[in-house]
Each structure stands twice: as C-alpha cells, then as structure tokens.
Amino acid sequence: MSRTSPITCIEDLRVIAERRVPRMFYDYADSGSYTESTYRANTADFAPIKLRQRVAVDMTNRTLASTMVGEPVAMPVALAPTGLTGMQHADGEILAARAAAKAGVPFTLSTMSICSIEDVAEATGRPFWFQLYVMRDRDFIDRLIGRAQAAGCSALVLTLDLQILGQRHKDIKNGLSTPPKPTIRNLINLALKPYWCLSMLGTQRRTFRNIVGHAKGVSDLSSLSSWTAEQFDPALNWDDVKRIKDRWGGKLILKGILDPEDAELAVQSGADALIVSNHGGRQLDGALSSISALPAIVDAVGGRMEVLFDGGIRSGQDVLKALALGAKGTFIGRAFLYGLGALGEQGVTLALDIIRKELDVSMAMSGLRDVTHVDARILARNPYAVARP
C-alpha cells in the first residue's frame, strides 16, 4: 500500500506499521502462542455473527456516549494494556494516552510498559487506568499499587491469565529484548526502519521503567532480565484478588476471564467488572476466542457485574457485535498499536476515528441511535448463543 493512499481501515495502519516497526517488536504485537490458532480465531469468529439491516428508521441525533465502570466515555471503547508499547514508537504509552484523552476514551497502562506510571501522569495530566501483574515480590506490587494511587489512576485492571508465560515462537526466534541487542541481524533490520530509529533517538525511555529502579536489585538490563524471568507468580489465587482489592480500595477490573465458572468466582471476589479475554491469543493456544466465549460469561454473570470485552476487534462493527452479545464496553489492543507503529499519536487518533465511524454507521444501519440500547435484537444470527434446556 502506498503511504499516499487514503487510510480507511485498521488493516491499512497494520500494513504501514509492519513496514516501519522493527521485526521483533512488530511480531511481539502481531503474534500469538504456539500455532496461533486462538490468535487467528479472535478476529475470524466475528464473521459468522450477522446483523439485521433496518430501513426507513430515523437515524438523526445518534450518540455513542456510554459509561465503563461508572466513568463517562465518548464511545464504549478503551485502549487495552499492552506491554512494550513504547517500542512500537518512541514514548508510545504517552502518545497513546494523549490520543485516548482527546478521543474521550480510557487508556490503560501496562505494568510492562516502557514509559512509567509517573511518565504518563506527568505528560498527560489526566487520570488513566493501570494494569497490574502479580509478581512474587509482593512488596514491589504493594509499592506499584501505591504509585498508581499517587498518580491518580481511576481503575486497576488485574490480569489473571499470565501466571506462567505461554510460548510465543516468534518472540523466541527474534530474541526479543528491549532495547534490541546489537546483533548483526538486528542492526540490519534497524537500518531498514529509519522512521522508528529517528523517533527513538529523541527519547531516553527504552526499558521497563515501572520496574528498573523500583524493584529490589534491578538497576540495569541484565538484572531486569533475570528478575522478570522468575517474577510472574504461578501461585496467584482468588485470595490474592481479594487482598489486592483491599489494598487498592478503588475500582477493580479482572482481566482474563474465559470460563463461566471463573466468571462466578469473579463475581464473588467483589470486583467491579471483568474482561472476557484470552490475552490476545498469546497464552493458551486452542482456547476459545473471546467473542465465542462472551455470551456464556454474560449469562453466568447475570447482571451482577459489568462485563467488558477484549480480543480481536479490528473495526467498529466488531465493537457493535460485542455489545450486542452483552458486553458493556470493549478494549482494543493491536488496533491501536498498528496506528501507533504507523504514525505515532496521529495513528492512534486515526485508529480511534476509524472505529468510531464504523460503530456509528453500523449502529445506524441496524436501526438504533443510542449505543446504550444495543443488544441481541440487532443480530440476524448469533452462532454463539447460550443453549437452553
């Protein structure tokens, strides 16, 4: 695709990002674990969901305004927590947070971000959400929560599906590291990515700044590598969730729910919301796609907790389908990363604009004017409906 061609969809941004972002970081964003079957299903499983087209209905005065965990949003879309965002583009977390603020949607900062909590808070001056991984070093986790509180983060997103790391073949083969190791292969690849290299020359943020200088014994890249290799806690359990909820004291969102039994436990934990997610197909390959798992979880929750959705969204129409299947709001990850890698902050803004327009038009053609009224009535066919005895 020529850079001068109009950018009309998320796929256009992906093509540009693939050309501009170094291979190891592009592959980190655009890959799954093992055979990548769940990664592919996350997007493919939207296609069998069909919409009812309605005609001769009043399509004036439409609104996409809604709420997510009680916060007003311009549309029911948030930027998902994504690791190494600042390696898709220099200062990527800051740029994405600014774009989200302009669009009136939440931004979620990952524990494994390149820009720190303090970096984003200082640069944006606006509340954002913070995503937490549970590490073995509980003192570090308590301090991390305290830093999120001090920065004014308005919700904590606790990820539950990364107790152990799913094998991601591309990351292993690429020798993923941040910053890239100066191997001949990496140097050749970087030489072909001048846009990325020039942006990186203008920042000092090139490692995991939430961790380096904050975790005990982690002061440089070598100590960081050994620390992260042993820190994800395989013993994470529901008692830990309750402890973190008490320590946080604010709105808590549980990310990584894919089974109705876990949804019930999430309700019992007292959290404010859950996110139906399979970690972008980067953990258990062969697990259900997020969209096919969504209806059963909505059914299990039964309105007792807010259900949010993450996984495979590449268009506003995907957002509409997730809402029709019962999600209160949605998250986009790769869709905004493509924009970031392609065009920086402008690309994230463009990705959000594309999704907003597609959601608005598809909602109108389905006969509705208010996004909060979207439900299963707009579906012509739902292949993932919960079977009733």
- Enumerate the active-site residues: 279
Beta-strand relationship, 379-381 and 50-51: antiparallel
Helix residue ranges per DSSP H, 21-152: 23-29, 37-44, 92-103, 117-124, 138-150
Confirm or deny that 304 is annotated as ligand binding.
Answer: no
**Contacts (Cβ under 8 Å, ≥6 apart) of 79:** 96, 97, 100, 105, 106, 107, 108, 331, 332, 333, 336, 348
Interhelix angle 92-103/117-124, nearest 10 degrees: 40
Interhelix angle 138-150/238-248, nearest 10 degrees: 40
Confirm or deny that 312 is annotated as ligand binding.
Answer: yes
Backbone angles phi, psi at 322, to 5 degrees: -65, -40
Dmax (CA) for the chain in angstroms is 66
For tokens 């029709």, the residue is 324
**Contacts (Cβ under 8 Å, ≥6 apart) of 90:** 196, 199, 200, 202, 203, 205
DSSP state of 372: G
6 residue type, one letter? P
**Contacts (Cβ under 8 Å, ≥6 apart) of 96:** 79, 85, 107, 336, 340, 345, 348
Confirm or deny that 333 is annotated as ligand binding.
Answer: yes
Confirm or deny that 282 is annotated as ligand binding.
Answer: yes
Confirm or deny that 311 is annotated as ligand binding.
Answer: yes
Which 3 state secondary structure label does DSSP give 6? coil
Confirm or deny that 82 is annotated as ligand binding.
Answer: yes
CB contact at 8 A, 167 and 33:
yes
Confirm or deny that 334 is annotated as ligand binding.
Answer: yes
DSSP state of 68: E
CB contact at 8 A, 331 and 275:
yes
Q: How far is CA 39 from the centre of its chain?
A: 14
Confirm or deny that 272 is annotated as ligand binding.
Answer: no
Residue (of 78, 146, 156, 158) closest to 118 by Cα position = 146
Residue (of 94, 77, 16, 81) closest to 347 by Cα position = 16
Confirm or deny that 310 is annotated as ligand binding.
Answer: yes
CB contact at 8 A, 128 and 97:
yes
Binding site for glyoxylate: what residues are annotated?
A: 28, 133, 168, 279, 282
Binding site for FMN: what residues are annotated?
A: 81-83, 110, 131, 159, 255, 277, 310-314, 333-334
Binding site: what residues are annotated?
A: 28, 81-83, 110, 131, 133, 159, 168, 255, 277, 279, 282, 310-314, 333-334
